[in-house]
Amino acid sequence: MQSAITRHRHRAEMRRWIATAAILIGGLAVGCGSGSSGESEDTTGPAPALEASREFRAIAGVSMGGYGALNLGTKHGDLFGTIASLGGPVSMGQLLRDSIEDNLEVKTQTTLPRQVGEDFTFDHLPPYPERDSRIRMFQDLSIAFGNPFLHHSDPSRQYLARDSEPATTLIDDLYGSFTLPADARGFVDGGDTNEDGLRQLDELPRVATDVMLVAGGSLAAIAPGATRVERAGREVADLDADGIFDVGDGLVVNYSEPFTDPNLNFVFEPDRGETFDDDGLDGVPGSGDFGEGNGTFDYDPDRARWFAQDPLTRLEGLSADAIRTQRIYMDVGTEDELGFAQHYADLVDVLVAKGIAVAIQDGFDGNCTDLPGPNAPFLLVRYPAGHVGFESVDPDDLLNGDVCGTGTVWQRIISMIGFLNESFPDGVFGPGSGNAPDLDIDFPGLDIDFEPPNLDPTGDIVTGALPSPALRDGAATPMRDIVVYRPPAFFRSEDSFPIVYFLGGYGQKPQDFEQVRLLLDALILTGQLQNMYMAFLPGSGGRTGSFYVNHTIPETQVPEIEEATSGRFEDSILEDLIPVIENDILDRRIRRP
């Protein structure tokens, strides 16, 4: 493990010690700041149970990681006392509804929707993130949770839409009989070179859709009289000759039998008077294919896997007292292009319905020189901007921006840090006053043995890769990148500190967050923030993003995947990464009550 870790200290300790020796020889003294010290941790016996530090351990994340933080945090409340969920898909019901109504809907439409809340379709997707990322993200969602729109009866062939039951029956209640493209991976889409979410006539498709089932030949009925053009396995049409494809062959969606849904939650609730049409669900055994009817309402079986990983469903099943054992910070952009503002509105409704007060703040409060200190245990911050959290779209501010500037990503992080600071009581403030190791210098005729002052008051970061046996799916053990910030007092005292685990967005890497060190150092050295660790964990998996769960579909079934693993990404975090970070990299110095 040590060989895979690089410590960035930027201290040049030996040169400083020699310089200090020269100062002392000249009769000058170098003073040290004040700080508090605690008892050193015993690193010889068994490691303390993770549950022992629950009160001083938080899990946070942005975008995909915002979902991961709320999902893992509510699932493992015995490990995490605080959760910070920044703009993620935290409502599976809403995510499925948006997928059906916007991302997979096919209909004739020439008006080009561009703004949040407008009527998007599969052929007219929003400009953020670009079309290619949306297609890949839907593939990763299917790998993580299963495909809730196409049932696969063969466990050894769960990924490709071509292997689903509707692809075998070749008939759909909406589109009737259809044909399949020649390529087993389905039609090819994407190629969104100008990143506007649309498909111009001169853009060449380049992303195999894999998990989407096109109903070949259905465009003739969807858009009668339209001039149809075949593009990489799907017929499409430009209805108004503006150089943009407006519609194409339909996409088969078998989520459930049709039902009335007045509250628009995509959940069949007969106790609320909702009714359904017993048309059957094509390809699902026992559901009455092709409308024979079986007398019961049917969902696609994969839907249950999505809701098993749904934070809102989990919170709905908990008592108010159980929820109050944790603190939850939330933020979301009021102009979020993925519709996540509605997700957090639904989350707040769940909490309020249980009698839990949620403070709602519009805009950010505080900055680098005035760290916010909210005391509400449940807080939602709504900021007037869009989504942030895709590596392919949002890297500049995160990698190169001013950590104390006006960039949305840094304002979000500062606001979150203020909440976390208030979540850990009686913290250790300041850089500490400890000294560097003893130095023994031998000059001709002069022997000096002294303990020099530690002149560097900053923290550091540890970067590298840790082995993850939980992800092994063969002979080799996969390595997982991590970045860990250690605060100034870690080197200048023997105190223990709280720790925050941060999960990045879709396609982001732990190394993308290394600039957070500058922000944390500044806040700690100005006395605004207590010393705390922050560990950035990997979100890679599947094609691009793991969603931080144990996957439903084996990665060995996914064509052209870079590195097939066991898919146990939740286990990797809890069983492999956290124990090594806390016990080895941080010397077991995690605060306990």
pLDDT in tens, 370-413: 999 999 999 999 999 999 877 666 567 888 889 999 889 999 99
The answer for residues whose C-beta is within 8 angstroms of residue 97's C-beta and 6 or more apart is 264, 265, 266
β strands within 322-420, DSSP E: 327-333, 359-362, 378-383
Ranking 69-78, 289-298, 335-344, 555-564 by mean pLDDT, the lowest is: 289-298
Predicted confidence (pLDDT) at residue 362 exceeds the cutoff of 90: yes
Give the pLDDT score at 474.
Answer: 85
Average pLDDT of the chain, as a whole number: 89
- Is 36 a residue whose pLDDT tops 60? no
Residue 32's pLDDT band (cuts 50, 70, 90): very low
Record the pTM: 0.91
What is the band of 40 on the pLDDT scale with cuts at 50, 70, 90?
A: low
| Contact assessment for residue 539 and residue 68, using Cβ atoms and an 8 Å cutoff | yes
How confident is the model at residue 39, as a pLDDT? 54
Contacts with 316 (C-beta within 8 Å, 6 or more apart), sequence order: 350
Nearby residues of 78 by Cβ (< 8 Å), 6 or more positions away: 51, 54
How long is the chain? 593
pLDDT for 563 equals 84
What are residue 439's phi and psi, to 5 degrees?
A: -125, 130
Which stretch of DSSP H or E encloses residue 60?
A: strand 57-62
Q: What residues form DSSP beta bridges with 440?
A: 449
Lowest mean per-residue pLDDT among 167-171, 208-212, 272-276, 470-474: 167-171
User: Residue 388: what pLDDT?
Assistant: 85
Mean pLDDT confidence for 501-521? 96
At 18, is the pLDDT very low, low, confident or very high (cuts 50, 70, 90)? Answer: very low
DSSP states of 104-172: S------S---STTS---SSS--SSS-HHHHHHHHHHHHHHH--TTS----TTS-S-GGGSHHHHH-EE
Q: Which residues make Cβ contacts (< 8 Å) with residue 377, sequence separation at least 6?
A: 324, 327, 328
Strands 460-467 and 5-8: antiparallel
Cis peptide upstream of residue 148 (ω within 30 degrees of 0): no
98-136 tens-digit pLDDT: 999 999 999 999 999 999 889 999 999 999 999 999 999
Structural tokens at position 74: 């509510």
DSSP E strand stretches across 157-283: 171-172, 176-177, 188-189, 207-208, 229-231, 234-237, 247-248
Distance CA 421, CA 587 (A): 22
Q: Does position 23 have pLDDT exceeding 80, yes or no?
A: no
Measured between alpha carbons, how far is 147 from 325 in angstroms, rounded to an integer? 34
Q: pLDDT tens across 568-590, in order?
A: 999 999 999 999 999 999 999 99
Tell me the mean pLDDT in the region 224-241: 97
Taking residues 305-333, report their average pLDDT. 98
Percent of the chain exceeding pLDDT 90 equals 77
Q: How confident is the model at residue 295 (pLDDT cuts 50, 70, 90)?
A: confident
Quote the pLDDT of residue 243: 97
Q: What is the predicted pLDDT for the residue at 13? A: 39
Is the distance from CB of 564 to CB of 543 less than 8 angstroms?
no
Buried b (16+ CB within 10 A) or exposed e, 569-587: bbbbbbebbbebbbbebbe
- The rounded distance, in Å, linking the Cα atoms of 476 and 305 is 29
When pLDDT is averaged across residues 487-494 and rounded to a whole number, the result is 96
Closest residue by Cα to residue 516 from 583, 417, 418 = 417
Residues 534, 500: contact at Cβ < 8 Å? yes
Residues 19, 106: Cα–Cα separation, whole Å: 72
Closest CA to 111 of 127, 98, 124: 124
pLDDT at residue number 311: 98
Tens-place pLDDT, residues 158-173: 999 999 999 998 988 8
Average pLDDT over residues 258-276: 90
Pairwise CA distance, residues 213 & 250, whole Å:
9
State the Cα–Cα distance between residues 89 and 134, nearest whole angstrom.
Answer: 14
- Cβ neighbours around 4 below 10 Å, total: 14
What angle do helix axes 516-525 and 408-423 make, rounded to 10 degrees? 50
pLDDT tens digits, one per residue of 269-286: 999 999 998 888 877 766
Least confident of 8-17, 84-93, 353-362, 449-458: 8-17
Structure tokens at 239: 């209805």
CA distance 547 to 542: 9
- Are 197 and 131 in contact by the 8 Å Cβ rule? The answer is yes
Alpha helices in 482-548 (DSSP H): 489-492, 516-525
Question: What is the tens place of the pLDDT at every residue in 410-458?
Answer: 999 999 999 999 999 999 999 987 654 444 545 555 555 555 556 678 9
Secondary structure of residue 329 in the 3-state scheme: strand
Q: Identify the pLDDT of residue 227.
A: 97
Strand ranges of the sheet holding 247-248, from the earlier edge strand across to the other edge? 229-231, 234-237, 247-248
> Residues 6 or more apart from 381 whose CB is under 8 A from it?
329, 330, 331, 332, 361, 362, 363, 364, 412, 415
Point out which residues pair with 5 in neighbouring strands: 464
Q: Which amino acid is at 425?
A: P
Contact present, 364 and 333 (Cβ < 8 Å): no
Residue 401 pLDDT: 87
Among the listed ranges 55-59, 255-259, 350-354, which one has the minimum average pLDDT value? 255-259
Residue 233 clears pLDDT 50, i.e. is over it: yes
- What's the rounded Cα separation, in Å, for the pair 544 and 492? 40
Q: Are strands 247-248 and 234-237 parallel, antiparallel or unpaired?
A: antiparallel
Mean pLDDT computed over 487-492? 96
Using CA atoms, how far residue 299 sits from 105, 148, 283, in Å, is 19, 9, 12
- According to DSSP, residue 548 is labeled T
Task: Give me the pLDDT at residue 30, please.
Answer: 26
